[in-house]
Amino acid sequence: MLNKYARAFFTRVLTPFAAFLIRRGVSPDTVTLIGTAGVVAGALVFYPMGEFFWGTVVITLFVFSDLVDGNMARQLGRSSRWGAFLDSTLDRVADGAIFGGFALWYAGGGDDIALCAVSIFCLASGQVVSYTKARGESIGLPVAVNGLVERAERLVVSLVAAGFAGLHAFGVPGIQYLLPVALWIVAVGSLVTLIQRVVTVRRESAEAEAAERQEAQGSEAAK
């Protein structure tokens, strides 16, 4: 749902900025690289120190590059396999840095091994959820399922919770518990999404193989 509605809204909002960058001679690949570097820096510099508010502010500023680079490519008429590959690959890097930053905090100053493990699970499951779709599509299956918690949901839930949890440093009481709750939600949601995709790929592969056998039998009968 977030992918469908929020992405369309922000694409319209960011179109003038994308056009400005094009006029300045900036390429979509440059925006992708800078955006990923900013997200990684924000996550791995601020989060391990427990600076969740400022870390989230930095990440949010750069995370919109994921929309800007695609917008620029469309305006330039340069949408390409390379651009899609680079964007998707660096998305995984950025996601890993965010949840890695949480894990580092809970392994250190946050002193909570359980939440460190949950953060690592969120990191790993997010990568595997993306892989299942990519792998399914690579073997010719549509993987036609809208998972419960996909990338947009993982980022929004985690970053919003981290940003608000960071307000505890400014004297807001009790709000620091939002992040642990969010991490558990993302972990459970990612597990459900992974199961949804595996079940879908299993069903689609069985249907595809049955259709191939039926077609082969029809060809034999025609002989």
> Is 31 among the annotated ligand-binding positions?
yes
Maximum C-alpha span of the chain: 81
> Is 30 among the annotated ligand-binding positions?
yes
> Is 63 among the annotated ligand-binding positions?
no
**Cα–Cα distance for residue pair 169/175, rounded to 1 Å:** 10
> Is 36 among the annotated ligand-binding positions?
no
> Is 111 among the annotated ligand-binding positions?
no
Question: Active-site residue 111, yes or no?
Answer: no
- Nearest CA among 102, 85, 103, 197 for reference residue 149: 197
**Cα–Cα distance for residue pair 51/38, rounded to 1 Å:** 16
State the virtual CA torsion across 140, 142, 148, 154 in degrees, nearest 10.
60
133 close to 197: Cβ distance less than 8 angstroms: yes
| Catalytic-role residue among 91, 95, 111, 112 | 91
- Nearest CA among 24, 102, 21, 22 for reference residue 59: 102
> Is 74 among the annotated ligand-binding positions?
yes
- Residues annotated in a binding site for a CDP-1,2-diacyl-sn-glycerol: 29-32, 70, 74, 80
- Residues annotated in a binding site: 29-32, 66, 69-70, 74, 80, 87, 91
- Residues annotated in a binding site for Mg(2+): 66, 69, 87, 91
Positions marked catalytic: 91
